[in-house]
């Protein structure tokens, strides 16, 4: 009997020695490799980081962080493979809460990368089931709602974000009210749209865009006076975007027989903003049509004297000069325009 136990004892002893000497050594090597991979990521050496992480997961299938980071690195070039890696991690049992959240976060970003917004939404919502006030998940879900134009959901997420500790951004909820109004407008639900635009104004009096849409509605109803008033209010609140309603205002003034007001309108715009090139071009065109060509050229010259002259301004100057300049002068000026276009294309 003693002879039988001697080989068993030897096997147990060898096994114990392997566990205490070789097993820890392999774990130590894996940890060192993982640190090397993280350093490669910090140095933006993506290829080396992927190679190191791939080597780790081949040797240690329990290294969750290595799988997680490997999937994150693959997302840009091979999102489908990233999804498979992160999906595999979701079935692992008994993972810490923080790790489960990171896995779901990565999977959400994977789906977002390939445009699978509904799947991205599902994974991010699973994070909120684990941690109700997760700032990243709520912010991500808001961005998904905006991409999918789900404005009711976006409004709800924005309200939730404002209640989360650590969120300091000021979200204007009237933006979502406006977008809901735009949806109704597209569906030709005019009354519902108008109600929402007025609510957006009531909530944010300095928000210009609702006035533009109200002007569009007034124009549809042929209430041109009110349309112009709303468009001008939009211009007042959003001066950098004023050119977007120039055509509408000019047409409305002509349609209502207020021809003389067109010139006054553009002069008013330029008086408030002398550098409004779009208004300058419009006014020059009006003056040209009235036969006041010299005044139109003098106006355009004000914009040409500025440091950066746009192609549109130079073309307007060429148009206004057709009847006053010689062919040689016009040809020379046309060459200047062509050279400017060439320089801009090469930038």
Same domain membership, residue 216 and residue 201: yes
* 277, part of any domain: yes
Identify whether residues 243 and 269 lie together within a single domain: no
CA–CA separation, 123 vs 137, rounded Å? Answer: 9
Same domain, 249 and 287: no
pLDDT of residue 70: 93
Mean pLDDT score across all residues of the chain: 87
Kindly state the tokens that stand for 36.
Answer: 């090397």
Residues 120 and 142 in one domain: yes
Q: Are residues 21 and 128 in the same domain?
A: yes
- Tokens, residue 235: 């211009």
Q: What is the pTM of this model?
A: 0.76
Question: Domain containing 209: what range?
Answer: 178-258
Instruction: Check whether residue 253 and residue 268 sit in a common domain.
Output: no
What residues in the chain have per-residue pLDDT under 50?
1-23
Residue-level pLDDT at 1: 40
| Torsional sign, CA 296, 300, 301, 302 | positive
Structure tokens at 25: 């050594």
Residue 339, domain member (yes or no):
yes
Domain boundary among 258, 290, 317: 258
Q: Are residues 238 and 301 in the same domain?
A: no
pLDDT on residue 343: 78
Report the pLDDT value the prediction gives residue 98, as an integer from 0 to 100.
95
For residue 162, tell me if it sits in a domain. Answer: no
Total domain count, the chain = 3
Per-residue pLDDT, 341: 85
The verdict on residue 155 lying in a domain is: no
**Domain check: are 50 and 127 in the same one?**
yes
The enclosing domain of 24 has a CATH number of 1.25.40.10
Coil vs helix vs strand at 127: helix
Residue 167, pLDDT score: 80
Q: Are residues 344 and 242 in the same domain?
A: no
Query: Are residues 134 and 51 located together in one domain of the fold?
Result: yes
């Amino acid at each position: 009997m003693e002879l039988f136990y001697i080989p068993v004892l030897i096997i147990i002893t060898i096994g114990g020695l392997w566990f205490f000497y070789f097993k820890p050594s392999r774990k130590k090597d894996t940890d060192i490799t993982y640190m090397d991979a993280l350093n490669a990521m910090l140095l933006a050496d993506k290829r080396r980081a992927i190679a190191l992480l791939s080597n780790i997961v081949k040797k240690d299938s329990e290294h969750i962080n290595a799988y997680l980071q490997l999937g994150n690195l693959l997302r840009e070039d091979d999102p489908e493979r990233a999804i498979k890696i992160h999906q595999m991690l979701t079935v692992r049992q008994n993972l810490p809460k923080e790790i489960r959240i990171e896995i779901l976060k990565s999977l959400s970003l994977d789906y977002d990368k390939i445009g699978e917004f509904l799947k991205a939404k599902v994974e991010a919502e699973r994070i909120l089931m684990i941690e109700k006030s997760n700032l990243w998940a709520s912010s991500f879900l808001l961005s998904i709602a905006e991409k999918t134009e789900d404005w009711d959901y976006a409004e709800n997420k924005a309200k939730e974000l404002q209640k989360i500790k650590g969120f300091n951004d000021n979200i204007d909820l009237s933006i979502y009210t406006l977008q809901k109004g735009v949806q109704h407008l597209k569906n030709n639900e005019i009354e519902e749209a108008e109600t929402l635009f007025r609510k957006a104004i009531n909530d944010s009096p300095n928000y210009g865009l609702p006035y533009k849409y109200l002007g569009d509605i007034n124009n549809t109803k042929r209430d041109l006076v009110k349309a112009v008033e709303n468009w001008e209010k939009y211009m007042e609140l959003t001066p950098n975007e004023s050119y977007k309603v120039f055509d509408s205002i000019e047409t409305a003034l002509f349609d209502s027989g207020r021809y003389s007001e067109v010139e006054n309108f553009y002069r008013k715009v330029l008086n408030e903003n002398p550098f409004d090139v779009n208004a300058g071009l419009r006014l020059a065109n009006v003056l040209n049509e009235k036969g006041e060509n010299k005044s139109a050229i003098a106006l355009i010259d004000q914009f040409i004297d500025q440091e950066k002259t746009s192609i549109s301004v130079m073309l307007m100057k060429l148009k206004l000069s057709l009847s006053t300049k010689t062919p040689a002068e016009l040809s020379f000026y046309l060459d200047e325009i062509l050279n400017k276009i060439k320089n801009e294309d090469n930038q």
